[in-house]
Chain A
């Protein structure tokens, strides 16, 4: 097991290298630069700025310097948010994004698995159909619709929760982002759970569990559920990575100081180092969470063996 984890992490290094390389050169292919504005800067000033940030060196040299810095854990300075390094920006924003994402993930897992199980147990009943219709609605309505609507209703009209803002991470400020982020996930998870559960409930070993005389809740929770949610695990790896590293839309609409917005803001402003920093964080999260998903897979199904 330890050897498996170690090998997977070693394989992850070349993956990250390729991602960083691609992102680095793609950013540079895009026209414009970090210091282009409404008004062109005087050439001397622009030359000075470029020299200060080492942007006047040949591209291969810049690339190697950046890689060297990365290996030492140096993400470089942000070109746009002066006086801040990329590492500082990410380290202040990431905990916010993770807090928002983790809460949404827990909510989505709990309600998704619960609703999916209820749907499967009452297959083709009115409850099943209404839960699954809600799931379709949850998948189709985008977060940029649910976020402002919920903010308007609960934040502005009813005034029960703050309409936006971080408020030092108070629970009230987190509830609406959690709900908005978890709704589409609840929908997908409940559909995946329902499908897996229907199949599991028909399987022979569940029939055996019933023949043993086990009470129905034990049959469902102990025997059917682990089989039903196994397919969920492989979906959850990348989904969790997306959630934990922040959502641009939700962070913009609720004015949360996470890192989701850096990705698009940075790309638009040609803040090369910031974009690359976020890419590295996101790629690492995907690699790590997929690894966790694989390990979970082995725990849920003893037939899966890693060597």
Chain B
């Protein structure tokens, strides 16, 4: 068993939403409601789910860009969900994030060299200016950008190049875990493939772990060792990538997989399509029991009464699903 880096248990992130009327009490919006998972050294955990399922909120809660309402985020034995900002700072070096919108995430007033060098000023303040410059140049080279570009500004780069800058910025402090929050979603497909291959190569060379968040199952299955399926802030299914894709236990996962087109028209035409009815319910007022039951083709009375536990449903102990009537 590889070393466990991150252990998230029963993570809750609720946002108070002001109610209707002047004196209404604020109601909690349950963006993330009781999510647990672990990340081991060197592995990639993929998190998939629709818009509004709480994927990004999980990433931000781990990094404390949002404050978790409850639960534990244990990083190498320390619960960082409750640490003060000051105590957290040395740990930030190990935990980095790559954001979705590559250009907007870079300060338009700073040169690329300054953007990539800035994390080093906090993480390794002992570095000389010269040493820092060398690290930045080496990092830019590693992500496939010419080190001569250090004096340019972000707006002079394409989307794919900006994301490489974002990756260089995240990786320059040699983190142990990098969260990729929809890191390739705004790029076109050929650039997506380049960036994913770059992430895989960096992961191999630097031995880091990734949490790869996306709404695109075909991207996640390509990069992940394990996949976590999220719906309305709750874990529906969690297991090894090939098992989750090949032997989806949860009807929601099965529906997601069936929505991914197969690049063969003959197969694509012959495939049964599982269409989900309706929209994702409001996290202000989640359904009782299983949150997926309002759109589930297999829902029965028990699903409304009883919250299904996230436990192994099939033969593999590592493959968990939260469903009363799993596909096995």
Hey, which bits of chain A sit against chain B, CB under 8 A?
203-205, 207-216, 223, 226-227, 300-303
Contact = CB atoms under 8 A, between A and B. Distances in A.
A32 to B, nearest CB: 55
B161 to A, nearest CB: 16
A300 B89 contact: no
Given A203-B104, A216-B85, A208 B99 contact: yes
Quick one: which of B99, B109, B118, B122 has the most chain A CB within 10 A? B109
A301 B107 contact: no
A216 B96 CA distance: 17
A208 B169 contact: yes
Contact of B89 (A211, A215, A227): A215
Contacts, number: 59
A43 B145 CA distance: 86
A31 to B, nearest CB: 55
B109 A207 contact: no
Contacts of A211: 63, 65, 92, 96-97, 99
Interface in B206-261: none
For chain B, the bracket of interface size reads 20 to 34
A301 B154 CA distance: 12
B194 interface: no
A124 B169 CA distance: 33
Given A208-B169, A226-B109, A214 B101 contact: no
A213 B93 contact: yes
B153 interface: yes
B122 A212 contact: yes
B109 A208 contact: no
B298 interface: no
A301 B107 CA distance: 10
B92 A303 contact: no
A95 to B, nearest CB: 36
A105 to B, nearest CB: 24
Given A211-B63, A212-B118, A213-B89, A302 B99 contact: no
Contact of A207 (B105, B118, B153): B105
B85 A209 contact: no
B96 A303 contact: no
B169 A212 contact: yes
B106 A208 contact: yes
Contacts of A301: 108-109
B122 A213 contact: yes
